[in-house]
Structure 1
């Protein structure tokens, strides 16, 4: 039986957020969604050990995905991070991996690659 994950999703697109919450909930996970990188950080820093996985977009108000990941890295967040974005530059890709990001999944019409990346990242942590 797979582990029930606690996932924080950060994406400025509310419609996509609703889809992600439904996707992860249907897969048996618990999800909190934030439409702003700054609000996501406020929730995370209050209890860094609460979430198993953080899924973040790159372009968001408040904090970008990269800024959020940098703060998580500096704060010694022990969970896994998956970036879910439309486009990532080679420089961003390199920086995300240097910060220990588990996966970068480009947004597409299919949800399965993101679910697989999140569950795979969490499994790799154990």
Structure 2
């Protein structure tokens, strides 16, 4: 597969800010269903890795909460821009791993990016009522 940015195609899982292998080192193949070609192998993650990913996301939430609405919106906006800048490569990856037509994959990338853009714009608008929680550790 010829990609403009080969770093978009990863064969590891992103957990807690690092690209990692499965704990046991197990991997499984990813094949193109249209022609059976083997694209790569990826880590066969399990419950332990899933727990670590959830714990890392939970630990990252306070830092995200401390960002202003504008800062969060800027991060989401940048993600949206990167999706569009790399839409051809992302669509090619989807086509290879799913066997769907390239035009359909490109439409799906653009459709997904539109949601990121929408949330980036909505993220700027932090207003409304704050309803007290029933517990001090809840929002």
TM value normalised by structure 1: 0.28
TM value normalised by structure 2: 0.26
Higher strand proportion: 1
Bigger radius of gyration among the two: 2
